[in-house]
Amino acid sequence: MKISKTQFLFILTLILGAYYLVIGVYLNHLGYYNQENIFYIEKTKIVFEGLGNRIKVMGLTSPLLPFYATFIFSIFNTCLAPVIASAVGTAILFYIIADALTKRINDDFYLYMLMILFFLHPGMLYAACSGKAIYLVLIFFFLFFFNLLKFYRSNTTFHVSLASMCLVILIFCDYKFIWLTLFFAPLVLAITVQSLNLGEKESIFRLFLSFNRPSLRRKLINKTFAIYVILFILPIASIICYKLLNLTHANDLNYFIESPYATWSVLVDKLNYDITATSANYQLPELSVMVSVRVICFCPLILLAVYLFRKSTYQVLTILTPFAFIEFLHIKYDKLFLNYEYYLIFLILSLLCLVFKAQAIKRQNILKIALLVIILVQLYTGYIFLSQSLITDEKSFITTLATHEVNTDQAESMEMAEVINNLPKDSHVLMDDAISYPVAAFTHDIQKLTLPYQYLFLSAIETPYYYDNYILIATAKNPFAGYTQLNNKYIPLIRIVNSGVNYKRVYETNNWILYQIVSTQ
Amino acid sequence: MSISIPELLVNDGFILPGDQEKIHDFSERSGLSYVKIALNFGYISRKNYERSLINAGFTFAPIRNEAFDIEVLKKVELKFANDQVALPLRIENNKVVTLMSDPSNQFFIDFIKFTYDLEPEIIVANDLDITWLSHKLLGEKYVKASVFDLLKRDPKSSASTTFTNPQLIIIFVMIGIIAVGLVLSFKNTSIIINVIISTFFLIAIIFKLFLALVGSRFELHQAVTKAEVRDVMDDTLSIYTILLPVYKEDKLIKKLIWNLQSLDYPREKLDIKLLIEEDDDKTLKAVQNLDFPAVFEVIVVPFHMPKTKPKACNYGLHFSRGKYLTIYDAEDIPDTDQLKKVVALFEKLPSNYICIQSALNYFNRNENFLTRMFTLEYSYWFDYMLPGLDTLDIPIPLGGTSNHFKMDVLIELGAWDPFNVTEDADLGVRAYAKGYKVAIINSTTYEEANNDPINWIRQRSRWIKGYMQTYLVHMRNPVTLWKKIGWRGFLGFNFFIGATSATFLAYPLLLGIFISYLIFDFSTMHTLFPDWVLFMSIFNLMVGNILMIYINMMAVFKRRYFELILFAIANPVYWLMHSAAAYMGLYQLVVNPFYWEKTNHGLSKVNNPTNVIK
């Protein structure tokens, strides 16, 4: 029986998905978790099992779409849901790219190259098996540029509007991509000038002509404005609406990006930077403004991609836009490290360029050899970038994967959660999940916890003895202790409020102390 | 006076000798009288005709109040009288008093002699007056057929009964259940209603977005290319009927002739019928007073209730000669190559495609806020939604005009339902239910967008009422409908025809709730909106509104109406007008279901240049 190309790709995708899933589950069993997937696990538990203002958690947890993606898979297993989501999502990304590739190129070599990347590239494995939202970012980043390049060719509303929708989804997968729009502003003008029906071929003269003839000028302005609107109004309007929702439900326009209750990255990114910046070896390679050079080292394929489009000015400008974007991120968020996903987008972008242009190259053999060499180099650079990463989650992923040793990063949270799990059934524990979400995530019964999403949390903070039997306190050693009220200063303060209540240490780890509230009256 | 009128007209220089031959040839081929062709196919204006005859000593008599004898009338067939523009009225002084537009029409004179065995006494009269009187006196049979044919042949498809008994029972039982539920448990019942409405809205929004995306995907697809139109040979073309139902459109008659003359189709193969109501003297006079040749034939529709456009079209159908048929409104400006494109497409498509819908858009789009919004809506509807429905094989609710039919199948389907005020949408579904298909063509007809809010609401209330009628008719037996049109068609019908009116009715209520939500205490609202429902409602509100606005933007972007893009943001206001119209339509559905809210045309001050396709 002969199978069609689509069926073949589908089977390949299934195999790839299973492969990712096996690795992801294996890593999970070795104890590998990262802050992002733990955050999703805890919020999912709140949404499905919690009691209180769940609408806020449902709607304002950020990034929104990766969080929803884990929802779907939480029917199988809440703790594994992020990993399943990322494994399935990355397999889908493979299918999308492979499908686009096979529709345009009749040479299986390119498909094999794609398979090598998806099966072996450490970055792709990280996207697929870590349970992070990178897979969604990559999918919609690919689709955004894919539709944009298609729009350049077809000039149809369909492609430009699809690109816009992909941009919206991209922003709701990672808010930082909103800045990408900034660099498309001049590009749109270039596209419009190019699309005007003029005899003049040279871009600068076309622009000159368009500005100096009233009818052309009107046309240029109208069209440029229309493309801006059609491309950017959807993301802008979505963000405005979402910010308004934040305002109405959390009294803060930027709640979803600034509150540790809404997003995992606020504290984690900060901590990553602080720890590295103050560490003894003081290694800060990203201080260099040459982030783009790092990208080229990580993904030399992007040079080939630019070369392939060398004759199309605004396609090249489009490919270069993400460079401007990451340089901007580096300046804007100077206290943060660039996550691995911002390097991976270049890998995806270069694959996209191959999809569009590889067939047009006459010397296919040279291209194939170059491609093979570059991809092998990239497998190595992908590994190096992960293993040398200054971000804990990234480094511990590759370490766990390479050494097969048990990862103990979350051991302490699990240990404390186990203690809470073993507390009497009707006991209640007051904790602040701005920093203690890993403990909450590993707790079996979320209803046992009094958390900030509940209306009674503030009352419980004031008078814990009325609402709870236990309090989870961050010790002074806890790096996040400064970001919660429930830290080592809390117990002495609350003792002053009501001296008739005593607090007994039940269990203690490096970062956490569980107090039991004992009434002496 | 034995002079032949054709010779007189040539002698007076009103008709060229070459044209004379053409008219005679055409007359022989078609059976139409000389004067019928001369006056209705653009050879001579009525004024010149009258002038020529008066100069020759004829006098035109006012004939509308002439006495008539039913026994005399019984011996003449309306179609024959209509073709000959002549009518025997009574026998007087042993002669047949006969009205004739062309007193030298020997064929009709012989017919009188042979039929009544008497000599005629000819009264020369204006052709339009004769037409008016012929249809008034002889048209009863046809007008009754126009009204009752569908009802007799297929009563289940007729909207003559608005609500059937089972439908009334279901409606009242549902109202009863809701009322009891609200009394017993206000909170839980409200939550259930909320969940149902929110889910319905969510599905409707996603469905519409999906349709728009599917439709927009084919925006570069050309059903018929320019080359294919060029390849169409004039000699092989069939007769094409164009029905132009008008009522008090006297201001538009001149524009109408200009638009029709621009059509790229052999003149003699066009069978254009201007359908004028019996009591519409204004339009009749406007046609009479034209000082240039008309290119259409006037058909006078005798009075009969309901006084609707589909009844007029059904009546016109009896006199139509074409293989294909289309309907235009008086103010329509079709692409000049539209008819040829349609013929080419019909030849390409399988035989079960019986109707081709052209896109509609507006020539006066920049006139005011309303016309801009209307253009946004139509661009989205005809450029995205209908192609989307077409692609997904879901019944297409035909637009009011520019739908081109195969005449034989149209008659087989029972033509238009005169009791339905959106007869076109109903016909689309009926055709689909009988296994026929509708296609969309890449050709546009430009209409006049309603620029007056009251006029707009009246027009829209009729459309929405018609959608409700159509929905009620086809949902009399949902299982049968589902079996006929399949699950896709069934869902499409419910979400497209049914949901349209329902969403407009629900919109102001939901907006009211939202405003209360903003103004009043959240906690009060929270009891009626549990977390999941509130989440879904907010999603609908935000995402739904944004997406619907965006789809409108996409549509005008495609049409290159860049200046209209930002107006899409005003859609929520525009939808409120829809809601006002929906409530008016609902009220009329109950109290006056067959009433045809007339739309006034010709209000636009914008010039409408012909859309010549080169």
Determine the average pLDDT of the residues in A95-101.
95
Q: How far is A198 from chain B (nearest CA, A)?
A: 18
Verify whether the Cβ–Cβ distance B217 to A158 is below 8 Å: yes
Residue in the structure block whose two tokens are 């170059």: A370
What pLDDT shows up at residue B612?
47
Determine the average pLDDT of the residues in A34-47.
92
A157, A169, A233: best mutation site toward chain B, by most B Cβ within 10 Å?
Answer: A157
What pLDDT shows up at residue A239?
92
Strands (E), A332-394: none
Bridge partners of B404? B326, B356
Interface contacts A/B by beta carbons within 8 Å: 61
What pLDDT shows up at residue A429?
94
> Which of A360, A386, A403 is the endpoint of a domain?
A403
Bridge partners of A408? none
Contacts of B562 in chain A (CB under 8 A): 222-223, 225-226
* Within-domain flag for B148: no
B92 falls in which pLDDT band (50, 70, 90)?
Answer: confident
Looking from the CA of A396 toward its CB, the CA atoms found within 13 Å total 18
Determine the average pLDDT of the residues in A60-84.
91
ipTM over 0.85: no
- Mean pLDDT for chain B? 85
* Within-domain flag for B146: no
Above 90 in pLDDT, residue A338? Answer: no
> Which of B138, B169, B187 is the endpoint of a domain?
B138
From CA B473, how far away is CA B49, in angstroms rounded? 49
Q: In this structure, are B129 and B183 located in the same domain?
A: no
Q: In this structure, are A72 and A214 located in the same domain?
A: yes
Residue in the structure block whose two tokens are 């539709």: A147
Rg (CA), chain A: 26
Q: SS3 of A442, please?
A: helix
From the number of C-beta atoms within 10 Å of its C-beta (0-12, 13-18, 19+), residue B443 rates as: buried
- Cβ distance A451 to A440 under 8 Å? yes
Determine the average pLDDT of the residues in B529-534.
76
Is the C-alpha dihedral spanning A129, A132, A137, A140 positive or negative? positive
Residue in the structure block whose two tokens are 């800045």: A179
Q: In this structure, are A85 and A117 located in the same domain?
A: yes
From CA B20, how far away is CA B224, in angstroms rounded? 37
B173 falls in which pLDDT band (50, 70, 90)?
Answer: very high
A379 falls in which pLDDT band (50, 70, 90)?
Answer: very high
- Cβ distance B592 to B468 under 8 Å? no
From CA B607, how far away is CA B250, in angstroms rounded? 17
Lowest mean pLDDT among A122-131, A200-209, A435-444, B413-422: A200-209
Contacts of A147 in chain B (CB under 8 A): none
From CA A471, how far away is CA A491, in angstroms rounded? 9
Helix axes A392-403, A122-129, angle to 10 degrees: 100
Verify whether the Cβ–Cβ distance A156 to B531 is below 8 Å: no
> Which of B138, B168, B196 is the endpoint of a domain?
B138
Determine the average pLDDT of the residues in A384-410.
89
Q: Which of A53, A223, A229 sits opposite B566 (nearest CB)?
A: A229
* Structural domains of chain A, count: 2
Looking from the CA of A146 toward its CB, the CA atoms found within 13 Å total 23
Q: In this structure, are A376 and A431 located in the same domain?
A: no
Q: What percent of chain A has pLDDT over 90?
A: 51
From CA B423, how far away is CA B312, in angstroms rounded? 12
Tens digit of pLDDT for each residue in A461-484? 988 888 999 999 999 988 888 888
Verify whether the Cβ–Cβ distance B554 to A156 is below 8 Å: no
Above 50 in pLDDT, residue B267? Answer: yes
- Cβ distance B244 to B256 under 8 Å? yes
Verify whether the Cβ–Cβ distance B535 to A234 is below 8 Å: no
* Contact residues for B168 (Cβ-Cβ < 8 A; gap 6+): none
Q: In this structure, are A377 and A468 located in the same domain?
A: no
What pLDDT shows up at residue B517?
75
Q: In this structure, are B317 and B278 located in the same domain?
A: yes
Q: In this structure, are B133 and B160 located in the same domain?
A: no
Q: In this structure, are A179 and A120 located in the same domain?
A: yes
Q: In this structure, are B112 and B208 located in the same domain?
A: no
Q: In this structure, are B126 and B28 located in the same domain?
A: yes
From CA A277, how far away is CA A390, in angstroms rounded? 10
* Structural domains of chain B, count: 2
Give the global pTM: 0.82
* Within-domain flag for B150: no
Determine the average pLDDT of the residues in B187-191.
87
* Contact residues for B72 (Cβ-Cβ < 8 A; gap 6+): B88, B89, B90, B91, B96, B116
Verify whether the Cβ–Cβ distance B554 to A223 is below 8 Å: no
Please give the backbone phi and psi of residue A457, each rounded to the nearest 5 degrees, phi first: -60, -45
Q: In this structure, are B406 and B344 located in the same domain?
A: yes
Q: In this structure, are B406 and B435 located in the same domain?
A: yes
Instruction: Report the b/e string of A287-310 with b at 16+ CB within 10 A.
Output: eeeebbebbbebbbbbebbbebbe
Verify whether the Cβ–Cβ distance B550 to A222 is below 8 Å: no
Is the C-alpha dihedral spanning A22, A34, A166, B208 positive or negative? positive
Above 70 in pLDDT, residue B164? Answer: yes
Verify whether the Cβ–Cβ distance A55 to B542 is below 8 Å: no
Determine the average pLDDT of the residues in A288-299.
83
The CATH number given to whatever domain includes residue B184 is: 3.90.550.10
Range of the domain at A434: 411-519
What pLDDT shows up at residue B197?
85
Q: In this structure, are B453 and B480 located in the same domain?
A: yes
What pLDDT shows up at residue A481?
87
Q: In this structure, are A384 and A423 located in the same domain?
A: no
Cis, peptide link before residue B245, omega less than 30° from 0 = no
Q: In this structure, are A438 and A317 located in the same domain?
A: no
Contacts of B535 in chain A (CB under 8 A): 55, 58-59
Q: In this structure, are A370 and A428 located in the same domain?
A: no
Q: In this structure, are A308 and A440 located in the same domain?
A: no
* Within-domain flag for B83: yes
The CATH number given to whatever domain includes residue B30 is: 3.30.300.160
Q: In this structure, are B210 and B337 located in the same domain?
A: yes
Q: In this structure, are B466 and B383 located in the same domain?
A: yes
Q: In this structure, are B78 and B194 located in the same domain?
A: no
Q: In this structure, are A10 and A113 located in the same domain?
A: yes
> Which of A342, A372, A403 is the endpoint of a domain?
A403
From CA A95, how far away is CA A8, in angstroms rounded? 10
Verify whether the Cβ–Cβ distance A162 to B213 is below 8 Å: yes
> Which of B110, B138, B166 is the endpoint of a domain?
B138
* Within-domain flag for B144: no
What pLDDT shows up at residue B30?
83
Cis, peptide link before residue B306, omega less than 30° from 0 = yes
Range of the domain at B116: 5-138
> Which of A387, A403, A419 is the endpoint of a domain?
A403
Q: In this structure, are B103 and B205 located in the same domain?
A: no
Q: In this structure, are A32 and A90 located in the same domain?
A: yes
Determine the average pLDDT of the residues in A7-28.
95
From CA B398, how far away is CA B429, in angstroms rounded? 9
Structure tokens at A362: 């006459």
Q: In this structure, are A329 and A459 located in the same domain?
A: no
From CA A243, how far away is CA A64, in angstroms rounded? 13
Contacts of B216 in chain A (CB under 8 A): 156-158, 161
Verify whether the Cβ–Cβ distance A245 to B546 is below 8 Å: no
* Within-domain flag for B296: yes
Determine the average pLDDT of the residues in B437-454.
86
Structure tokens at B142: 């046809």
* Contact residues for A405 (Cβ-Cβ < 8 A; gap 6+): A30, A399
CA distances for B320 relative to B83, B120, B242, B296, B297, angstroms: 11, 29, 9, 12, 10
Above 50 in pLDDT, residue B614? Answer: no
